[in-house]
Amino acid sequence: MATERVAKATGVRLFWATMWARAYPRMVGTFRERSWLFFETLLPVLAVSGYVFIYRAIQAPPAYTGFAVLGGAMTAFWLNVLWSMASQLYWDKDQGNLEIYVLAPGPLMAVLLGMAVGGMVMTGTRAAAILVICSWLFDVSYQVAQPLWLVAAFVLTMAALYGMGMLFASVFLVSGREAWHLSNLLQEPIYLVSGFYFPVKALGFWVATFASIIPLTLGLDAMRQLIFAGDSGLGFLPVPVELAVQLVLAVVFITAAYFALAKLEQIGREQGRLIERRR
């Protein structure tokens, strides 16, 4: 009896198949653990509410309420990158999955890209829920002047942000046990310097310039200028300039992540140092 031979995936097909295979568990897991939907939506809403009440108490312009709401929605993406991307390989090492990733024919870059795609789908539902709930609670009005520019700003921000997450995955894996401390260290300071709840322009030119290496800084600023068209004067840089910088950041972070992961994969295959557990 003749057996049918299955074509072996290689090259682009292998990369594509690996990416979707790793993205699938995260996309399905979004709706299996419903308690996450509650806690990861409720807590950011409470944080946004605190800033909104502060702005209203000091009689800040109404646009600041929208700034806080949009920033609160984007925190979901930053936390996903920090905890579900940057720290993922370190956690997989502790759980014994890193050996499988290194020995599997699919490249590590495809594995991390699958995490990014699945994470964006998973996190997008939470960000949308936060945006809808807070907009309804606080009666936020939006004036989108250029929808295509807004889509471009969001896509470029996500590309640069998750590229940085892929690069951090290598850094956190090499750092070992310090990965947990690095994740905690980076969480709150980024909220401040990236201007999650206020225009980053308020930090001053040089602080905002140095903070622009974090993709969310200029990404949030550009989206706010496009969503709240009547208050573009609060922006740090013109939108086209910010989008150009985001494109450069995306290319730099993704390229650096590619070479870092390739080096780690080479070391893991040849020397096995990355998959040894310290006792």
* pLDDT tens figures, 21-70: 888 877 776 666 666 666 667 777 888 888 889 888 888 888 888 888 88
* Residue appearing with tokens 């998959």: 275
pLDDT(2) > 70: no
In a 13 Å sphere around the CA of 11, the CA atoms on its Cβ side amount to 2
Question: How much of the chain is in helix, strand and coil states, percent to nearest 5?
Answer: 80, 0, 20
Burial class (CB in 10 A: 0-12, 13-18, 19+), 12: exposed
Q: How wide is the angle at C-alpha 73 spanned by C-alphas 253 and 56, nearest 5°?
A: 130
* Residue appearing with tokens 């840089």: 237
Q: What residues does each domain of the chain span?
A: 12-23+33-271
**pLDDT > 70 fraction of the chain, expressed in percent and rounded:** 82
Q: Assign 3-class secondary structure to 37-66.
A: HHHHHHHHHHHHHHHHHHHHHCCCCCHHHH
pLDDT(251) > 90: yes
Distances in Å between the Cα of 108 and the Cα atoms of 36, 112, 113, 163, 268 are 27, 6, 8, 13, 11
Measured CA to CA, the distance from residue 75 to residue 51 in angstroms comes to: 14
Distances in Å between the Cα of 191 and the Cα atoms of 128, 186, 194 are 19, 9, 6
Q: How wide is the angle at C-alpha 245 spanned by C-alphas 224 and 217, nearest 5°?
A: 40
Tell me phi and psi for residue 106, to 5 degrees. -70, 140
pLDDT digits (tens, 9 = 90+) for 209-240: 898 898 989 999 998 888 886 555 678 888 89
The pTM is what? 0.81
Determine how many CB atoms are found less than 10 A away from the CB of residue 133. Answer: 18
Measured CA to CA, the distance from residue 64 to residue 230 in angstroms comes to: 12
pLDDT digits (tens, 9 = 90+) for 185-197: 777 788 888 888 8
- Which are the contacts of 94, defined by CB distance < 8 A and separation ≥ 6? 277
